[in-house]
Chain A
Amino acid sequence: MKNKYATFILTHEQMAICLHKAIEKILGKQKNIFPYTNLVDALPVLAKKIAQDIQNLQPDHIVCFVDLAGGSCWSLAGMIRKKYPNTTIIAGVNMPMLVSYFSNLNDLTFEALIKKVIKDGSRGIILAQGAE
């Protein structure tokens, strides 16, 4: 039986919502993806909403992508991890990382998936400058 994943994207401003839209623009509709912005709600309010999503879904694995290690979304993800030990946090979310994650979600073991996502997220940062 396949693992059930709950995927959270936690960021400043509208980045989480835009990343969600962008990933579905490329890969099509995805299951159990929850974008949250830290713009308005206090962290305990966000933590409560996320806990409700988790209670509804009862996932085997919770993956939190956050934009900035050390920021408030990082702290929020830390609070989720404390409550739900089956939580994995990945900071520095980018499109290559999310493309890799959703493309391989159903094909790899959880450990292999996370390893690949981290690698692809880094490999997607490419420098091109000056004349060829």
Chain B
Amino acid sequence: MDVQLFRIDDRLIHGQVVLGWARPLKSERILLCDNEISENAWEKELYGTCVPATMQTMICNTCETADFLKNQVKNDDKTIVLVKDPKAVIDIIECGYMPASINLGGIHFDDHRRKYLPYLYLNDSEVQQIHWLLDKGITIYCQDIPTSRKYDIRQIVGEAA
């Protein structure tokens, strides 16, 4: 079963997610999937402070996330899943859960990334990982908030070489 929003966003839980998406979607749960954060008490606490008390927060590693999505999620599940990069999605798929659609909501600048959109900077490996996900038949669209323009990722990064 699919969740309300399966999002790649390097800022993980922040205003665009909690206010921009979760409010109109009436989400009830945020599942932050990150292997490092799930092992780190203070980071878990930090991200926990970013979620309103009305929503449930789960912070899991990639295989726990895949297990939860395979076994616990129902048709009308009001969950937002957050990962920080395309590699985490590949890890979730390798643990047995395949999302149908991915929202690419934000990956920001660092030294090896090139600009594609104001909120999207990618390095060569990330572009390759996106093509790997597209080859699996997953729909990937770029959109930072619900009211902004939606782009098919293939328009942004082109077809695989």
Contact = CB atoms under 8 A, between A and B. Distances in A.
A41 B108 CA distance: 5
Main secondary structure on B side of the interface with A = loop
A1 interface: no
Interface stretch (B46-54, B70-78, B95-103, B153-161): B46-54
A39 B111 CA distance: 15
A74 interface: yes
Contacts of B52: 70
B91 interface: no
B11 A72 contact: yes
Interface residues of B, number: 21
B108 A75 contact: no
Interface in B30-89: 42, 46-47, 49-52
Given A42-B10, A43-B10, A68-B15, A74 B50 contact: yes
A12 B15 contact: yes
Interface residues of A, number: 19
14 contacts: A42-B10, A42-B109, A68-B15, A69-B49, A70-B14, A70-B15, A70-B51, A71-B14, A71-B50, A72-B14, A75-B12, A78-B46, A78-B49, A79-B46
Interface of B: 10-15, 18, 42, 46-47, 49-52, 107-111, 118, 121
Interface of A: 12, 38-45, 68-72, 74-75, 78-79, 82
